[in-house]
Amino acid sequence: MKRKLLHLQLLPLMSGVQRFSLHLLDGLPESDYEIFVASQPGGEFEDTVRSRGWNYLPLRTLRHPISILDAAALVELIQLMRSYKFDIVHTNSSKPGLLGRLAARLCGVPRIIHTVHGTPFQDRQHPLVQALYRNMERIGNSLGHRTIFVNNSDRENCLKLGLLTPDKAETIFNAMSEDMKPSLVTKDTQPSMVTIGSTIRFSDQKNVIALICAACKACHQSSALRFIILGDGEHHALCRSIVASHHLNERILLPGWDSNVAPWLNKFDAFILYSRWEAMPYSIIEAMKAGLPVIGSAIPSISEFVDSKSGWLVPLDDEEALISTLVEISRHPEELIPKGIDARSHIQKKSNYDEMVAAYRRVYES
């Protein structure tokens, strides 16, 4: 008899959190699971879920910011779970993680799983806000049977803070299936113009304004630098204005979002992700599997996957260090190919699709 499995998401976008569900669910045998996916309706994620033949359930009241409407979202989730009687509820991200686990516990769902795609509490938050988010995570973890982390640093930090017990915490690294893995980027010679690229959401988390400002200043110092930053979001228009003010529209390209990333990776010589916080972003997995070295912010989660052999780590909020690193890369393009080879080898050992699917199946079925 098939187990009824619900994956609960928040936004109907195709960001890393939603792609995680797609990658994992693609690997589950149809003979064992009847798959349901729920989120806000109306985006590319909904279309993708439906195209795979899975059951899509729209959540009309679930919203991103914390508000009084969260009570209505909880009621909607309870009604959903009572109607479908799921065997497994798997929540993703902080708000669905709290509301979804509470609803599942109230409805007596036999197996409640949550994956942490980055913690909601950050060092630069007001202490009261940070305490609120930590308590929310502690409550959510108490309601579920297992909390999965996609890196070791977040798991160790949450255990240190007492937000859950060790028997409930596990690390399972993100991965993508072989048929969705980008092809190897091949570079025959050292480039005369070094192209540094990224695929990001133009948000505070991705630190995109600092990245664009540093890119502009680096381009003024080195004529051998060019940037292609794919994505959209709340800061996209501002970033375009910053680039235009530096008269660099032809060297810093911001073409918007494109879900077909592979052709763009072939244009890159290196990949950059200067985020304030991350979990285990699929953008880095794609870039490293394609054989691109990575320039990353020196935060614990990125430092788990990028080192001096596979790329460059730059201290957060150190514009001078970031500019210097970008300029040095353009002056020493001979380092790109060896670092890219190491990046591909490193991520293949760290991120294994069959191991990821098998680990989640053990969690679902234990």
- Residues 340, 360, single domain; the answer is no
Provide the 3-class DSSP secondary structure of residue 80: helix
pLDDT digits (tens, 9 = 90+) for 206-247: 999 999 999 999 999 999 999 999 999 999 999 999 999 999
pLDDT digits (tens, 9 = 90+) for 247-296: 999 999 999 988 888 899 999 999 999 999 998 999 999 999 999 999 99
pLDDT for the residue 184? 63
- Residues 158, 192, single domain; the answer is no
Range of the domain at 106: 3-175+352-365
pLDDT for the residue 308? 94
Q: Map tokens 């234990």 to a residue.
A: 366
**CATH number of the structural domain spanning residue 130:** 3.40.50.2000
Q: What angle do CA 204, 307, 123 make, to 5 degrees?
A: 35
Q: Strand 252-256 to strand 225-230: parallel, antiparallel, or no bridges (unpaired)?
A: parallel
How far apart CA 162 and CA 166 sit, in angstroms, is: 9
- Residues 189, 327, single domain; the answer is yes
Report residues of the chain scoring pLDDT below 50. none
Domain count, the chain: 2
For 21-34, give one letter per residue: b (16+ CB within 10 A) or e.
bbbbbbbbeeeebb
| Phi, psi for residue 158 in degrees, rounded to 5 | -65, -35
| Phi, psi for residue 155 in degrees, rounded to 5 | -60, -50
Q: Map tokens 């439906």 to a residue.
A: 50
Q: Map tokens 């305490």 to a residue.
A: 131
